[in-house]
Amino acid sequence: MSSKEDKTLQAIKFDREHVKLDILDQLVIPYSTTYIPINTIEDAFQAIKLMQVRGAPAIAIVGAFAVVVDTHTYLQSGESSKTIKDLKDSLDYLITSRPTAVNLANALNDMKVLISLAAEDSKPVDKTTLKLLYDYAVALYDDDLANNFKLGENGLQYIISSLKEENFEGPFSIITVCNTGSLATSGHGTALGIIRSTYQNLNEENTKEDFWLDHVYPCETRPYNQGARLTTYELDYEQIPFTLICDNMVSSLINTLNREKAVKDSSAPVKFIIVGADRIVKNGDTANKIGTFQLATIANYFNNKNENQKIRFIIAAPKTTIDLNTPTGEGIVIEERPANELTTLVGPQLAQDGVGEKVTVGIATPGINVWNPAFDVTPHELIDSIVTEDPHVFTKDASGEYQLSK
Ligand code: MRU
C-alpha cells in the first residue's frame, strides 16, 4: 500500500527539457504509486487501451506528448525515412485506441492539420515538425490545467446561485460518478474540480453563505471501479468528507436523506449530481461513463416528485470535449470493452503486513454472454447545465434546447 508520502495526484509527468514522458499507472492506484515510461506512440496506444491512463482530457494529453516523444527519439536516432504521411498515419492509429472521448481525436487531428500546413505529405519529418508538435502538446497541457481551475470556479458560482435561487439553507451533498479529478486531467479536474473548489470555499468552517458542502458520495462505477479506486483516493487525499456507495444505491441514498434520516453521520440532502463528459454533441446530448444516464433519470424522478427538493444534474467539461460536428447523441460511437471486465475482479491480495501479489478472481458463470459498454449517452433534456471554462454556464433556452459554442 502506498504510504501518505508516496501518494500523488499527478497522472502525467512530462519533462520539457529532456522530452520524456511518464504516466502514473492508474491500474494499481490506490495500492501502489508506480510511474511507467511512455517512449513511443505504440506505448501510448497500449497504455490508453489498457486504461493505465484514462479520463478524456488525460488521454488526449498523453497521446499528444507521446507523439512528441516518439518524434524526438526518431530525430535523435539520425534516421530519415519517416514522412509526414507516415506520421499522420500513426496519429490516426493512436486515435483508435479509445473511440468515445473526443478530446483525443480533437488533439491528434489538430496536430495533423498543423504539420500538414507546414509540409507536404511526401516531405520528411524534421525539426520543424517536432517544434510544432511540442508547442501544441505543451499548450494543451497548460491550457487544460488553467481551464480546470476556471471550470471549478464557474461551477462553484453556479452552485451558489442555484442554492440562493431556492433559498436553500444548511448542509448539502453531491453525488458523482467515475473519476474526473486530477488523475483524469492535467490537474484539479472537471466534475471533481468543481467539488474541490466548492469544498475549499464552502465548507462548514469557512462558508460566507447560509449553506455548505457537507458530504460527497462517489459511486463505485462498475465495472472498472474508477469511483471506488480513484475518486476515493483523491477525496481522501484532499480530506473532503465522503462515503462510497455502489451504483445501485443512489435512489435509496437520495430518498433516505430527503426524509432527513442520516446515512452514516450525515443527513445533508443531495442537491447536485455532477459528472464529467467524454463527448458533448451539438444538441447537448452527452456521452460519459456508463451509469451516468441512470443518475440523470433518478434526479429527474425526484425533481418531478417534489419541486422543493430540486437536484441539479450538471455536466462539467472543458470545451475540448465539445463536438459540434455531431448533431445528436445518436452519432456517438460507444466503446465496448472485454467481457472479463465484468466477469472477473483484478486486484492485489491484501494482508495485514501490506499489499501482496495481483490476483484475478471470477465472479460470474464462465463463458456467458456479457454486454460491456464503457459509456452511455444522457439526453440533453435531463441535463440542467453544462459548465465549462467560460463564465457563461450553458443552460437550455425557453424551448428546452442547448445553444452550445466552442
Ligand atoms: O473509461 P474512463 O475511465 O476513461 O472514463 C472516464 C469518464 O467517463 C470521465 O467521466 C470523463 O472522461 C471525464 S474525465 C475529466
Question: What confidence score (pLDDT) does residue 377 get?
Answer: 98
3-state secondary structure (DSSP) of residue 78: coil
Q: Is the dihedral of CA 291, 295, 296, 297 positive or negative?
A: positive
> What's the per-residue H, E or C state across 17-73?
CCCEEEEECCCCCCCCCCEEECCCHHHHHHHHHCCCCCCHHHHHHHHHHHHHHHHHH
Q: ω into residue 223 within 30 of 0, thus cis? A: yes
Strand bridging mode 312-316 / 270-275? parallel
Question: What confidence score (pLDDT) does residue 309 get?
Answer: 77
CA dist 151 → 135, 191, 398 (Å): 23, 9, 25
The answer, yes or no, to whether any atom of ligand 1 lies below 6 A from the CB of 55, is yes
The active-site residue out of 278, 285, 323, 384 is 278
Question: What confidence score (pLDDT) does residue 265 get?
Answer: 87
Look up 384 and say whether it is catalytic: no
CA dist 23 and 36 (Å) reads: 5
The answer, yes or no, to whether any atom of ligand 1 lies below 6 A from the CB of 190, is yes
Pocket test for ligand 1, best of 54, 147, 280, 322 (most atoms within 8 A of CB): 54
Question: What confidence score (pLDDT) does residue 158 get?
Answer: 98
- Residue 296 grid coordinates: 440523470
CA dist 335 and 99 (Å) reads: 6
CA dist 161 and 169 (Å) reads: 12
Question: What confidence score (pLDDT) does residue 107 get?
Answer: 97
3-state secondary structure (DSSP) of residue 389: coil
**How close is the Cα of 56 to the center of ligand 1, in Å?**
5
> pLDDT (tens digit, 9 = 90+) per residue, 149-188?
999 999 999 999 999 999 999 999 999 999 999 999 999 9
Counting as low any pLDDT under 50, the low residues of the chain are 1-2
Global pTM value: 0.96
In contact, 35 and 25? CB cutoff 8 Å? yes
The answer, yes or no, to whether any atom of ligand 1 lies below 6 A from the CB of 185, is yes
**How close is the Cα of 331 to the center of ligand 1, in Å?**
19
> pLDDT (tens digit, 9 = 90+) per residue, 52-75?
999 999 999 999 999 999 999 999
Question: What confidence score (pLDDT) does residue 4 get?
Answer: 52
The answer, yes or no, to whether any atom of ligand 1 lies below 6 A from the CB of 56, is yes
Q: Which ranges of 274-351 does DSSP label H, i.e. alpha helix?
A: 292-305, 340-343
User: What are residue 370's phi and psi, to 5 degrees?
Assistant: -140, 135
